[in-house]
């Protein structure tokens, strides 16, 4: 992922690092530090932003970067609290169609414990 593409975006703000971007899966991580709520635990919104970014970038790659992709429905189940290290989201496309894509996510901490799961529906539009 080109640094210019995320400059000034939420992806830059949450500290996203792209680990694998492909047609079969997209993997990215963010640090817990700087993405916490007032109790020192990872903020659920940061997890959601990570998942939506993974699915959006994955859909953009699958459509050849020629379309506009926007999340239209996101569901994240937060399963375990995290207070340090990184969280890593792995997104797998369930379907990438002409106008809609659906992604499945698993989010793990540094100890490979499942901390969240979710789904994202993305609208695919002409530029």
Residues, the chain: 127
Say whether 52 is catalytic: yes
Whether the pTM exceeds 0.85: the reply is: yes
CATH code of 24's domain: 3.10.129.10
pLDDT by residue for the chain (127 residues), tens digit each?
555 667 878 888 999 999 999 999 999 999 999 999 999 999 999 999 999 999 999 999 999 888 999 999 999 999 999 999 999 999 999 999 999 999 999 999 999 999 999 999 999 999 8
Q: What is the longest distance spanned by two Cα atoms in the chain?
A: 42
Point out the catalytic residue in the list 12, 24, 33, 52: 52
Range(s) of the domain holding residue 38? 3-126
């Amino acid at each position: 992922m080109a640094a210019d593409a995320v400059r000034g975006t939420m992806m830059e703000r949450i500290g996203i690092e792209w680990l694998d971007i492909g047609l079969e899966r997209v993997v990215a991580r963010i640090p817990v530090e700087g993405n916490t709520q007032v109790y020192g635990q990872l903020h659920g919104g940061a997890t959601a932003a990570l998942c939506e970014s993974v699915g959006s970038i994955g859909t953009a790659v699958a459509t050849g970067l020629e379309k506009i992709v926007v999340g239209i429905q996101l569901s994240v189940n937060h399963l375990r609290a995290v207070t340090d290290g990184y969280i890593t989201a792995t997104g797998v496309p369930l379907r990438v169609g002409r106008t809609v894509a659906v992604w499945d996510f698993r989010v793990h901490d540094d100890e490979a414990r499942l901390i969240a799961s979710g789904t994202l529906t993305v609208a695919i539009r002409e530029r």
